Structure 1
Amino acid sequence: MSLYNLIVVPLSVISGLWIPCTLLCCIPWVQKQMLYLHWVTLFPGKWLTEPERAGFLKNQVATFGIASEDGERLFAWLIAPLGVYSRHVDQFIQESPLPDDIERRVTFRLLKEDPETRLVIYFHGNTATVAQGRRTEEYRTYSSGASDKIFVLAFDYRGFGKSTGTPSESGLLNDAEAVVDWALHTAGIPPERIVFLGHSLGTAVATGIMHRYADLTRPIEFAGLILCASFTNTGSAFSSYAIADVLPDWFRRRFKDTWRTDQRLASLAKRCERLQLVLVHAENDGTMPWDQTEELFKATLRAATEEVGPKLKVVDLGEAGKQEVWRQGTRSISKLIAKHGGKDALNRVDTGFTSDRRITQPHKHGNTQAPSHKNRHITMPALHATLTARDLFPTTANTSVTPKAILLIVFVAVIPVLLVAGLVSWLLCCYGRDRKSSRRRNPAEEKGKENPSSAPQIPQKDAEIAGFLRPSPIPHNPYSRETQGVPMVPERALRRNDTVGSERSGRSVGEKSEAMPRDFV
């Protein structure tokens, strides 16, 4: 295969697919499907309603629903810490939970009655549900850390899992507000004991809801904000999937859900007097480049201080990475860039802050023990969240696409591009085949085409293979050496002999010849 076919044809095919897909992403409905991926469900419904399948102890997770102001129903998990479970193990095991009656659950009662409890509200990324395998590993890590006072509240956004509705930026922020209001008013947890922890897409949701509460007439500040594998905005997030990092600026401006985390963090840095921000990322993250977190860190620092080169405390964590911390009064902004881990990877980490507690509970096949969580596989962001949570003590643009623009994109850009790309690809493939066949053509055949009289004879063997034989009309000669069957002669030879015989006898070609060789084969 020529170099032309190896390079030009694949590039033409890729271009013909990539350009139309990029243009299609300008349509809001397509944007939602690509950004949220809420239609991708990796686990069946039983994983949602039966958390024990994901490795939790009996009734350690309370499943319930939260209603949003616009009428959507959100599915949520409330996870009790392992230390609290060990002290009330009999109550958890003997509990007979009722669906959606969260206020009568042991987990809820222990969360509300203990004035020292801490609540981590987890905002997951796109795709799947709260029961996705890696997420459940994180829940267990947070709830089994050095402090046995940390409860975890995880929920599915609208359109994800068992939650109703369709996702959008305003819709997800309304969902987050409903969950935070439930924690503040129903569970009675003060904001100084609540931490927001976001992962991937959840970093934008967590930042957005904290910004919404900070923008109230009476601002509400929470204990902390932890962002794992964050991104500056939707355009930057999509650029990581672009070919050769090329994404037109006009395409960036046509995102309906922009998720401007960079602007919201800058606003929080200016408004919040007790901002506690932690940014976490991994250098080998293959999905979201870690320089997104680097940009957020620098932009937030510029908004928080007017110093040209703010003083940073650098902590070398060896193979775990490096941490940079900026502190000024009651405000703290830190960045942890790990060398290994990735957005969804698991690492083996040895730490004295993880729990080494074992719990025995009845099982139908005997007693079972909750595994020790020391030297276990945990996610990189989960480790940092555990270390940070132990210090949580009380501290005082319109970018929509119009219908006219959608029709213009579809009928003027997408369809012609598809037709042109298909035509170009077809022409290139045909041109490549013609060049390839011309190189392999036999020179003798070319000469034979120019002078048919000098064309080479087709060998008997080749004629047989090509299927050019037919039964001979000559009667069987008993004196011939061929004693079995009717001999087969090439059709072209018969035509040639008939022509020669006709010329000699003076008859036309169609007349029969009376004289034939006796032993003609």
Structure 2
Amino acid sequence: MATGTARLLLTPMLLAALLTQAGCSNLFFYPNELTYITPDRLNLAYEDVYLDTPDDETLHAWWLPAEGEPKGQVYFLHGNAQNISSHILNVAWLPPAGYSVFLIDYRGYGKSTGEPDLEGALTDAEAGLRWLLQKKHAQGQPLFILGQSLGGALAIPLAHEWQQRDLEPELDGVILDAAFSGFREIAREKLSNFWLTWPLQIPLSWTIPDDYEGSNLIAGISPTPVMVIHSTRDGIIPFHHGRELFQAAEEPKRFLETDTPHASTFVIPAYQKAVLEFMRESAGKSQSD
């Protein structure tokens, strides 16, 4: 799960020191190169994928084909720690349910080249989506983006740009699990929780670009359906972030209140079922509206 988020957000002293020195958004990223588990250990078929970004990085990804008759495809953007091998359990339930899954490692994660930063991660997210859409046996199927924690914060500007630029094919739905409402907002909030960094919360947060604040962009995803998921027990990204995103979103939208630890939503079958219902009802909705 997204343990790196905890490391970042619970150490405001370190965050303040590094921001003061570098003023960089890459402090949201905690990658490693370890392989925790591969899809075959979960009895999942998969394909190793390597794709190039426009700025000459190479990203590693996994393609997990749906079992049986495919119902759609899910593009998964993971949280800020480790790599896809530690996040795969969040989506391992989807292929047996009939949904293919494509999950990438951002630059600097796992087997991907480069060093992580915000602009680079956004470039990677779009590069992965474009690769997926070129996959022949995925064409014509309903398409969903599922972003979790940091991945949700990346999914919002990606889906916003996709919608605003009228790119094809249209997205059928965007699912945001445990996402924060903005990079600058979450940094400011965490810095305010510690007496030493409280006076610096505003100037330090200004070192983070404000072009990608989810609460400012999420309305632009409409008419693509949006599902916001957030737990009242989330100790990393407080519940109010999910509420803010939901309130800022335009219809059609749905809110799922959960009660699991951060980014642990899909250990509960009932929450899996709610997402499957959302995807089933949303398939083709944005095209028909």
Q: TM-score, normalised by structure 2?
A: 0.82
1:387 paired to 2:288: no
1:333 paired to 2:225: no
Q: Cα 1:385–1:66, aligned 2, differ >3 Å: closer, same or farther? A: farther
1:118 paired to 2:112: no
Q: Which amino acid aligns with 2:65?
A: A
Alignment counterpart, residue 155 of structure 2, candidates 206, 209, 213? 206
Deviation at 1:143, TM superposition (A): 1.8
The 3-state SS of whatever aligns with 1:241 is helix
Aligned to 1:478: none
1:343 paired to 2:262: yes
Q: Cα 1:387–1:252, aligned 2, differ >3 Å: closer, same or farther? A: same
Deviation at 1:277, TM superposition (A): 0.5
- Residues 314-365 of structure 1: CA distance to partner in whole angstroms, max 9, x if unpaired? xxxxxxxxxxxxxxxxx41111112x202133676455xxxxxxxxxxxxxx
Aligned to 1:182: 131
Alignment counterpart, residue 227 of structure 2, candidates 261, 265, 278? 278
State the distance in 2 between where 1:21 and 1:197 align. Answer: 28
Give % identity: 22
Deviation at 1:217, TM superposition (A): 6.0
Q: Which amino acid aligns with 1:141?
A: W
Contact kept? 1:51, 1:61, Cα under 8 Å: yes
Q: TM-score, normalised by structure 1?
A: 0.48
Alignment counterpart, residue 169 of structure 1, candidates 104, 108, 118? 118
- Mapping of 1:122-271 within 5 angstroms? 122-132=76-86, 135-145=87-97, 148=98, 150-187=99-136, 189-190=138-139, 193-216=142-165, 221-242=170-191, 244=193, 246=198, 248-256=201-209, 259-268=212-221
Name structure 1 gaps, 5 residues minimum: 1-16, 85-115, 305-330, 352-379, 397-521
The 3-state SS of whatever aligns with 1:160 is coil
Aligned to 2:30: 37
State the distance in 1 between where 2:158 and 2:12 align. Answer: 35
Alignment counterpart, residue 47 of structure 2, candidates 62, 66, 71? 62
State the distance in 1 between where 2:217 and 2:140 align. Answer: 19
State the distance in 2 between where 1:62 and 1:21 align. Answer: 37
Aligned to 2:3: none
Deviation at 1:181, TM superposition (A): 1.4
The 3-state SS of whatever aligns with 1:266 is helix
- Select the structure of larger CA radius of gyration: 1
Question: How many pairs are equivalent?
Answer: 272
Between 17-26 and 74-83, the greater mean CA deviation after superposition: 17-26
The 3-state SS of whatever aligns with 1:122 is strand
Contact kept? 2:181, 2:214, Cα under 8 Å: yes
Deviation at 1:209, TM superposition (A): 1.2
Q: Give runs of ≥4 in structure 1 deviating > 6 Å.
A: none
Q: Cα 1:29–1:65, aligned 2, differ >3 Å: closer, same or farther? A: farther
Deviation at 1:292, TM superposition (A): 0.7
Cα-Cα RMSD: 2.8
Deviation at 1:142, TM superposition (A): 1.7
State the distance in 2 between where 1:45 and 1:348 align. Answer: 21
